[in-house]
Amino acid sequence: MGLPKGYKTNIKTNLGKIGVDRRQEILDGISSKGTFLPRQVLEEDMDLSVVEFVSSDDGLSITTDGKKIPVIFLTIQRWTEFSKTWQHSDKYKDIELPFITIVRKPDIQQGQNQAGLWNIPGNNTYTYYKVPTNDGIRQGIDLYKVPQPTSVDITYEVRLFSNKMKDLNRYNRKFQRAFQSKQCYISVNGHPMPLHLENISDESNIDDFENRKFYVQLFELKLLGYILDEEDFEIVPTLNRTMVVSEILDVKKPSNIIFDPKLINGIATFRFVFKPKSDLQFTFIAENNLNFTGLTSVENITRIVISINGVGIFDGLVIVTPMVINTNDSVLIRVYKNINKTGMFILNGTG
């Protein structure tokens, strides 16, 4: 028994990821097939993605009489030639209908991708990713930095040439459904960008009874994209070790600093509290071998510097590389905070 006419067999049941999983999927797509830096986006990348969207089965392609309608991408100069000579393109001095053309307007405008907001002046770069490094002796971090993308609006003219009204109706319906929410998103090198349907108009020559009769429907699309040039990317090595030399005159613990070390069943929890107007540095002698891997409960402290036997091993607020402390090591803790506020933090590790 055959299926009823119009019976659909390719219904999609997988709706894809949503929420946090979808955001992570977008980030993974931006940096896939490359380094820790995002993939660059140039004008030709946006052109290619628009052509792929118009040509793809999941995008705006249609078939007629079991045959997929071909898509032709043209520059504005080639379109001028093509529009004048298209009827003499094949061996019969007539091109086969239907077909679709895409013409990109050359006047790229300032973009609206950032909802009318402007970039921060100065062409600064901003940290995108922190990559641990190791030269065999020292461990550090490289900062991968990128500039703010430059927003651009690019207009594309999509035309359907056909001598059948049913093709015109089906293609118009395809556009109306794709843009029923005003915009749809395309992926340009993994970067999601909105595509707007700006206008639908008719360029048919059916009133010219001397020439061949055909329909031409124009769909004007605007891509709210941005340019991200990999030549503007930066990789900045950071200091992997800070040398701090201090002369210890009195190693007695000040009364306005609370030092609460705990080592229970191999779990080390060292709590430090610096009261208002307290000294900003504190030294203690390690009584055990320790391996600190985490720094938590940081309050009112903007920077922590740790030195062992006069050699700096940590500077910041996040432990990337474990800190190894041996028995009888002299450990110096220096904090940066508001002198009138209480600051605290906890070192977590094993012993």
**Comparing C-alpha atoms, which of 297, 291, 296 is closest to residue 267?**
291
Distance CA 151, CA 228 (A): 9
- Do 76 and 180 sit in the same domain of this protein? yes
- pTM more than 0.75: no
Euclidean distance between CA atoms 79 and 100, whole angstroms? 12
If asked whether residues 290 and 207 sit together in one domain, one would say: no
In a domain, 195, yes or no: yes
Pair (313, 224) in one structural domain: no
Same domain for 49 and 159, yes or no, is yes
| 76 and 206 fall within a common domain | yes
CA distance 75 to 290: 67
**Structural domain contains residue 205:** yes
> Is the residue at 137 inside a domain?
no
Residues 55, 197 share a domain: yes
| 161 shares its domain with 23 | yes
Residues 209 and 279 reside in one and the same domain: no
Residues 224 and 262 in one domain: no
Q: Is the peptide bond before 70 cis (omega within 30 degrees of 0)?
A: no
Q: Nearest-CA neighbor of 158 among 54, 303, 44, 279? A: 54
CATH of the domain at 293: 2.60.120
* Tens place of pLDDT per residue across the chain (351 aa): 555 655 565 666 566 677 677 667 666 666 565 567 788 899 999 999 999 999 998 888 888 888 888 888 887 766 666 656 555 455 555 567 888 999 999 899 988 877 767 777 877 888 877 878 777 677 788 888 888 888 999 999 999 988 888 888 999 999 999 998 878 899 998 888 999 999 999 888 655 545 667 788 999 999 999 999 888 888 888 766 554 555 555 555 456 899 999 999 889 999 999 999 888 999 999 999 999 999 999 999 999 999 999 888 999 898 888 899 999 999 999 999 988 899 999 999 998
CATH number at residue 109: 3.30.2000.40
Q: Which of 229, 247, 270 is the last residue of a domain?
A: 229
Distances (CA, A) of 66 to 62, 63, 159: 10, 6, 20
Name the domain boundary from 229, 247, 277: 229
CA distance 110 to 171: 30
Could you give the CA distance from residue 315 to residue 334 in angstroms, rounded to a whole number? 10
Q: Which helix (H) or strand (E) holds 218?
A: strand 215-227
Same domain flag for 262 and 217: no
37 lies in some domain: yes
Write out the two tokens for 39.
């993939």
Within this chain, do residues 191 and 95 fall inside the same structural domain, yes or no? yes
Domain total of the chain: 2
| Residue 123 belongs to a domain | no
How many angstroms separate the most distant Cα atoms in the chain? 105
Q: For residue 242, tell me if it sits in a domain.
A: no
Q: Quick check: is 99 in a domain?
A: yes
3 state SS for 233-294:
CEEEECCCCCCCCCCCCCCCCCCCEEEEEEEECCEEEEEEEECCCCCCEEEEECCCCEEEEE
Looking at the structure, do residues 157 and 59 belong to the same domain, yes or no? yes
Among 229, 246, 278, which residue terminates a domain? 229
Q: Are 277 and 340 in contact (CB under 8 A)?
A: yes
The parent domain of residue 333 ranges over 257-350
Q: How far apart are CA 314 and CA 243, in angstroms?
A: 10
Q: Is residue 5 part of a domain?
A: no
- Cα–Cα distance for residue pair 25/7, rounded to 1 Å: 33
